[in-house]
Amino acid sequence: MYLLLNTYAGGGNANRKWDQIKAFVLNKYKDVKVVSLNSDNTITNILKNAKQNEENDFIIAGGDGTLNLFINNLIDATNPQEIKKFKIGAIGIGSSNDFHKPIKDENLINGIPIKLDFNDSQLRDIGVIKYKFGSQILHKYFLLNASIGVTAEANDLFNNPDKILKFLKKHSLGIAIIYAAIKTIFSYKNFDVKIIFDSYETYSFPVSNLSIIKNPNISGDLSYPCEANYKNGLYDIYLTYAMNKLDLINLLKSLSKKAFSKSDKTKYCKTSKIKLTAENNFLVEFDGETISTNYAEFSILKEYLNICIN
């Protein structure tokens, strides 16, 4: 068993959080190999060694981005038959830890959320992003959700913080998330996107925000009103368009109450595939990470990866 530790997660607070749970983990898993993620220990090399030694259980200690990085490396390094042998548990020492939500009391150790029961795992859907990068067609994968528009730009700001946001991330996560959201809203401009669904229906919208959801928790206390379903082969799609700044602030308020209001500027549906194209590049966010492209196609690998439930 490997434990991959990202000490840079959580706005610089990961080390402190790891110290709160380290003794519990090392006592529970006597044979665990703790590996810090740095330039000398890449995930690629770790996976190569794990496959050679037939070690298939991994604990990811970090945030949603750390888990996403591991999942992308694992899918790239395995075929559909090999990957079923692997099981993934997680320790939430990142910023938002949306993977662990809703967090149950029995899944908290010294205030740190965990999913470490390797006898209680299930095959879950994995989101796929096929996108253009220059002349190349590349792929990224995600477990929780993806977005374009104001959410993607706010995540990009959160990942590349100004001085104020750096301070807030270390001292008050909730305020840091609201700060990033409000700052993004006041600089955001809607942009035209052509959206093609799996039924080949095509629409064009001046997009304010588009969320592609497997897990409704998008950051901190912000959440859509659906339930997570990791095995149905479908996304919940929440679209807002032609919104002004006041509309976006009201959307932020609604999501803080786990609500999504129906209006002439919102749409909702379920789908298994969706394509997005635009004249200029836009940011695509997936599990807190971002890429830039003018074409993105979303699909699903159904029940593809073993994830610990508790």
Angstrom distance (rounded) from CA 275 to CA 199: 11
Q: Where are the alpha helices (DSSP H) in the chain?
A: 14-28, 43-52, 64-77, 150-159, 163-171, 173-187, 245-256
Q: From CA 74, how far away is CA 76, in angstroms rounded? A: 5
- Residue pLDDT, tens place only, 39-69: 556 888 899 888 888 899 999 999 999 999 9
pTM comes to: 0.91
* DSSP-based three-state secondary structure for 234: coil
CA distances from 301 to 128, 167, 222 (A): 7, 39, 26
Concatenating the DSSP letter of every residue in 7-45 gives: TT-GGGTHHHHHHHHHHHHHHH-TT-EEEE-STTS-HHH
- The pLDDT of residue 41: 63
- What pLDDT digit, counting tens, does each position of 82-133 carry? 999 999 999 999 878 899 998 888 889 998 999 999 999 999 999 999 999 9
All domains of the chain in start order, with CATH: 2-119 (3.40.50.10330), 127-304 (2.60.200.40)
What average pLDDT does range 190-215 have in this prediction?
Answer: 93
Select from 190, 230, 195 the least CA-distant residue to 213: 230
Residue 141 has pLDDT above 90, yes or no: yes
